[in-house]
Structure 1
C-alpha cells in the first residue's frame, strides 16, 4: 500500500533533514510510529500524503507515485484515497461539523456526494459521540469534539490509507479506546492500511507493528 524509497527532505539549507532509505506498508496493516518530538514523524506523514514533496526518492501509495503528481493531482488523489487525521484538526471554521466531515466531497470530482455518503457521515458522527452536534461550527465545539469531527472526515470516504497524527491525543482513556476501535473497524471494512503517529505507548499493543523513528535518524531501513 505504501512504499518509500531513498527519500530525503529538508526544511531549508540548514534546517531539519529527514532521510528514509526504505519503508514498506502492506495493504491492511496497522502500524504505529513512535519517537521523540521533532524527529520528523509528522513530516513523513505529510510526504506520504503528498502535502510535501521530497527532494529526492520516491513515495508511492496504492501503486501511484504520489511524489510525481502535480499539486492538483495530489490534492485529488489525497481526497479520494487517503484519510488524514491532522494533529491540529484542520477544520474550517465557517462550516458546521457535518459539512467539515463531508468536505473531501467538495474538493474533488472523483467523489460523489450522495445519500450514502451523507448517511455514512451521520453514522460515523454517532459512533464518535457527536451525532447531536453536527450543526455546530468548530468554535462551538470542545477540543475533543473537534478532534472527533476530524476523525470522521478522515474515514467518511472509505480511504485505502488512513494517516493519523495523534488522533487520540486529546481524549480520555475510554474515548481513546472507542476511537481506535472505530479506526480499525473502518479500516478493516475498507481493507485500508493504518499508519498512526502516537506518543501513547499504552495503545501500541493494538497495532501489528511499531516503527521506532529513531532508526530513521540512524539511516536504518524499517
Structure 2
C-alpha cells in the first residue's frame, strides 16, 4: 500500500533525509521510532504528498504521488489518507463534529451523507466525546482535541493512516482506546498504518517497529 524508493529531501538549513526503501502492506501496523529532529515527521509529510521529494518516489496503492501536481496530490490525500497531525490542526470555528467531518468539505470525491455523519458521531462517542460534539476546540482539553483529530483521520475509512505522535497527549485509558480505533480501522478496511511515536510501551502492539536510524541507512 505504501512503497518508498530512493527518497531524498533536504531543507535549506542543511538537514537532509534519505530513505532507500520502505514498504508497508495493507492492513500492516508499523511504528517508527527515533530521536527528535531525525526527520520522522518529514517522512510522514512526504508519504502524504504534503511535501515533494527532490528525488525518488512515493507510491500509494500503486500510484506514484510524487510526480503529481499539487492539486492532484491534495485530491489523492483527501480520498486515500487519514492523517493525525502532531499539533492536531483543528479548525477553530468548527465544532468537534464539524472538525471530524472536515475532510468532506475539502475532498471533492467524498460525499457528506447521513452515513458519514453517523460515523463521525460514533467515533466521537467511542472517544468519550458524545456530550461534547458541539463544542469548539477552545472549549476542549488538549487530550480531547487529540481525540477529535484521530476521529477526523478515521472518518473517511482511508486506505492509508499516518499518525504523528497520535497518543502523545492522552492518558493511559484514552491511549489504549485510540490505538484500538486505529488498529480496528486497519483491520476493517485493510489500511496501512504508519505511526511515529516516542512511547516505547506501545511498540509490542504493532506488527513491525522500524528504528528511523536503520530506515535511513542504505542496505
Q: TM-score range by the shorter chain?
A: over 0.9
Query: How far did residue 159 of structure 1 move?
Result: 0.2
What residue in structure 1 maps to residue 125 of structure 2?
Answer: 126
Unaligned residue ranges in structure 1 (runs of 5+)? none
What residue in structure 2 maps to residue 3 of structure 1?
Answer: 3
What residue in structure 2 maps to residue 60 of structure 1?
Answer: 59
**Residue 151 of structure 2 aligns to a residue in which SS?**
helix
- The equivalences for 1:166-185 within 5 A come to 166-185=165-184
* Range moving further from structure 2, 176-185 or 41-50: 176-185
Distance in 1, Cα, partners of 2:147 & 2:215: 31
Unaligned residue ranges in structure 2 (runs of 5+)? none
**Alpha-carbon displacement from aligned partner over 1:107-140 (angstroms, at most 9, x marks no partner):** 1221000000000000000011111111111011
**Residue 152 of structure 2 aligns to a residue in which SS?**
helix
Report how many aligned residue pairs link the two structures. 219
Query: How far did residue 27 of structure 1 move?
Result: 1.1
- The equivalences for 1:71-90 within 5 A come to 71-90=70-89
**Residue 88 of structure 1 aligns to a residue in which SS?**
coil
Q: Cα RMSD (Å) of the superposition?
A: 0.9
Structure 1 residue ranges, 4+ long, deviating more than 4 angstroms after superposition: none
* Range moving further from structure 2, 156-165 or 68-77: 68-77
**Alpha-carbon displacement from aligned partner over 1:138-172 (angstroms, at most 9, x marks no partner):** 01110000000000000000000100000000111
After TM superposition, the score normalised by the length of structure 1 is 0.97
Query: How far did residue 9 of structure 1 move?
Result: 0.1
* Range moving further from structure 2, 170-179 or 45-54: 170-179
Query: How far did residue 220 of structure 1 move?
Result: 2.9
After TM superposition, the score normalised by the length of structure 2 is 0.98
Query: How far did residue 216 of structure 1 move?
Result: 3.5
Distance in 1, Cα, partners of 2:197 & 2:112: 32
What residue in structure 1 maps to residue 37 of structure 2?
Answer: 38
Distance in 2, Cα, partners of 1:187 & 1:4: 20
